[in-house]
Structure 1
């Protein structure tokens, strides 16, 4: 059996439009959207942004995004942070004991994104 794609459902939090704008500012392409669900894509990776708010769930939801240029992502995240448009928090690229270098980003809804560097 072959798996071809895994697409998580990410909660938007209280402000669905703000969440959509945030992911577009990070460079994701919105390929579909209605009042309850949006689909975002970057290259072959996709996720659903669900118009859903449950703060306890959001604060305990995590997703990993593996990228080739972690420092480039950090530069992008810093530029988005400087705009002060989004209630986000981010920790600079850090090497962790489990062998991954990653950025920890808390998105506008409270979801923790582990943006990690692809092994070379």
Structure 2
């Protein structure tokens, strides 16, 4: 299982690339796969980061982050998957809280969200 998990694509997914293209088209420049230099967050990364504005953007997959609309669970090894996905959700909440405590704003986008709407949310958080 560990080998399979390590082979999962972490960055450059289709929803992330679509959001990046749209924000870039709008003239926004950002860091990609940004690693935080904040205690307790050294191993956590934002999909996009606007460092001057201290805005972190995460593009969350419906399966991995338990989307309330599209979440599914594999039938085999169900208990392990429930634990794994619950840990992911708890880590997301912890990351958000630590970033806010450090003076960052956080925008979370679901992979199924409309790209234009997601870009508008990012723009609003940037204060444009």
The structure where strand makes up a greater share of residues is 1
TM over 0.5: no
The structure where helix makes up a greater share of residues is 2
Q: TM-score, normalised by structure 1?
A: 0.31
The structure number with the bigger radius of gyration is: 2
